[in-house]
C-alpha cells in the first residue's frame, strides 16, 4: 500500500533537489528520506529517480508520476481544509514569499500575529529579493511590488497607491544639504539596489509637468533591499525605497522624505500562480495585510 508520507517526501525531494534537503524539511535523516522514496518505488514497481554518485534526476516514470503525486497531496490537503472550514477554522500549510526588507522589518511581526489568530496554519516563509517563479516553485502566494509583467498571475491589491520615496537620514542632509529638485540627485551619493544583473540606478519621479527619470550614481550597491535601507539609516547616502518599507522611519524622523508625493507608484500586491491557490488562508491573509498596511503605512 502506498504511504502518503512517502509520496510527500518524493515531491519534496524533487522540489528541494536532494534527499538531504527534503530530509531537513521533515526533520528526518537523509537515509530515511531515501528509504521512503525507495519504498514508493517498490510499491509502484518503477524507478522514480536516476541516481549516480554525483547527481540525481527524475526518470521518465518519475516525470509521469510527479503531477499525480502533487494532485494526490493537494486533494488530501483540500479535504482537510474543507473539514476545518466546516468547523469555522483555517488550517493547513501556507507557503509565502516576501521581499527581504519588507519581510524582515514589517511583515514578520504581523505574520506572528496572523498565526496567533489562526494557530492551525503552518507557515513556510521564503524571504528573498529574488523573484520566485510561482509556476515552478511550491509557493501559494508572494508579496510583490510593481505592475505584474506576467498576465497569467492572479494579483490581489494590498496597497495600490504605495509610492517610492527618495530619502536620507537627518545626519546626511545636515552634512550634504537637501536636494531641491530630483535633478540635484546627480550631485548626491545615491545607494542603489541591484536585482540579478540589473542595477536600479534610474529613479523616476512624478513631477507636475510630467514624469522625470534621473540617472543616479553612488559608492554602494546591494542585491538586498534591507542592506540599502540600513546604509540610508546610517547616513551613507540617499536611498529610493518603498514607503511600505520605511513608513516607521519617516514617522519617527530617522529618515527624511526629500520629495514628498513625487516618487513613482510601486503598488503592493499578493500574487498567486492561479485561482485554485486562493484558499481561505490566502484570502484571510490578504484581508489581514490590507488592514495593517492601511493602518500603518497609507
pLDDT score, position 25: 78
How many residues appear in the chain? 298
DSSP letter at 177? -
- Asked if 236 and 189 touch (Cβ cutoff 8 Å), the reply is yes
Q: Residue 46: its pLDDT value, please?
A: 94
Answer yes or no: same fold for 92-159+267-296 and 164-257: yes
Which one is predicted more confidently, 231 or 81? 231
Q: Give residue 81's pLDDT.
A: 67
Judged by average pLDDT, the poorest of 32-36, 65-69, 72-76, 185-189 is: 72-76
* Cα gap 96→196, rounded to integer Å: 21
pLDDT band at 279 (very low <50, low <70, confident <90, very high): confident
Q: What is the CATH number of domain 164-257?
A: 3.40.190.10
| pLDDT of the residue at 147 | 75
Residue 291 in this model has a pLDDT that exceeds 80: yes
Domain boundaries, the chain: 4-84, 92-159+267-296, 164-257
pLDDT score for 129: 86
Pick the range with the lowest mean pLDDT from 30-34, 54-58, 135-139.
Answer: 135-139
pLDDT for 84: 62
Strands 198-200 and 192-195: antiparallel
- The secondary structure of 49-112 as a DSSP string is EEE-SS-EEE-HHHHHHHHHHHHHHHHHHHHHHHHHHHTT---EEEEEEE-HHHIIIIIHHHHH
Q: Is the pTM of this model over 0.75?
A: no
Does domain 92-159+267-296 fall under CATH 3.40.190.10? My reply is yes
Element (H, E) at 148: none
Average pLDDT over residues 74-96: 76
In CATH, which of 3.30.300.30, 1.20.1510.10, 3.30.930.10, 1.10.10.10 is domain 4-84?
1.10.10.10
3-state secondary structure of 125: strand
What confidence tens digit (pLDDT) does each residue in 93-109 have?
899 999 999 999 999 99
What's the mean per-residue pLDDT of the chain? 90
110-119, 122-131, 166-175, 201-210: the lowest-pLDDT one: 122-131
127 phi, psi to nearest 5 deg:
-110, 110
Whole-angstrom Cα distance, residue 159 to residue 156? 9
Rg, C-alpha atoms of the chain: 23
Amino acid at each position: 500500500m502506498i504511504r502518503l508520507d512517502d509520496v510527500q517526501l518524493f515531491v519534496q525531494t524533487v522540489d528541494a533537489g536532494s534527499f538531504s534537503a527534503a530530509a531537513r524539511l521533515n526533520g528526518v535523516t537523509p537515509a530515511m528520506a531515501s528509504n521512503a522514496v525507495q519504498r514508493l518505488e517498490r510499491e509502484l514497481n518503477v524507478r522514480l529517480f536516476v541516481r549516480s554518485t554525483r547527481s540525481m534526476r527524475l526518470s521518465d516514470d518519475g516525470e509521469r508520476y510527479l503531477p499525480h503525486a502533487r494532485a494526490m497531496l493537494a486533494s488530501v490537503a483540500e479535504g482537510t481544509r474543507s473539514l476545518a472550514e466546516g468547523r469555522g477554522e483555517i488550517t493547513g500549510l501556507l507557503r509565502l514569499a516576501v521581499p527581504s526588507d519588507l519581510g524582515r522589518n514589517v511583515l514578520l511581526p504581523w505574520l506572528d500575529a496572523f498565526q496567533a489568530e489562526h494557530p492551525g496554519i503552518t507557515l513556510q516563509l521564503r524571504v528573498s529579493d529574488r523573484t520566485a517563479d510561482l509556476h515552478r516553485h511550491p509557493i501559494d502566494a508572494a508579496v510583490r511590488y510593481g505592475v505584474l509583467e506576467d498576465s497569467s498571475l492572479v494579483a490581489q491589491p494590498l496597497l495600490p497607491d504605495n509610492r517610492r520615496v527618495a530619502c536620507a537620514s537627518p545626519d546626511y542632509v545636515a552634512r550634504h544639504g537637501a536636494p531641491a529638485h530630483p535633478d540635484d540627485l546627480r550631485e548626491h551619493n545615491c545607494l542603489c539596489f541591484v536585482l540579478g544583473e540589473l542595477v536600479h540606478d534610474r529613479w523616476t519621479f512624478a513631477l507636475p509637468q510630467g514624469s522625470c527619470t534621473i540617472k543616479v550614481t553612488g559608492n554602494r550597491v546591494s542585491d538586498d533591499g534591507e542592506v540599502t535601507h540600513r546604509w540610508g539609516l546610517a547616513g551613507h547616502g540617499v536611498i529610493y525605497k518603498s514607503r511600505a518599507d520605511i513608513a516607521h522611519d519617516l514617522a519617527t524622523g530617522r529618515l527624511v522624505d526629500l520629495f514628498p508625493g513625487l516618487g513613482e507608484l510601486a503598488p503592493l500586491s499578493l500574487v498567486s500562480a492561479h485561482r485554485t491557490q486562493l484558499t481561505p488562508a490566502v484570502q484571510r491573509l490578504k484581508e489581514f495585510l490590507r488592514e495593517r498596511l492601511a493602518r500603518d503605512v497609507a
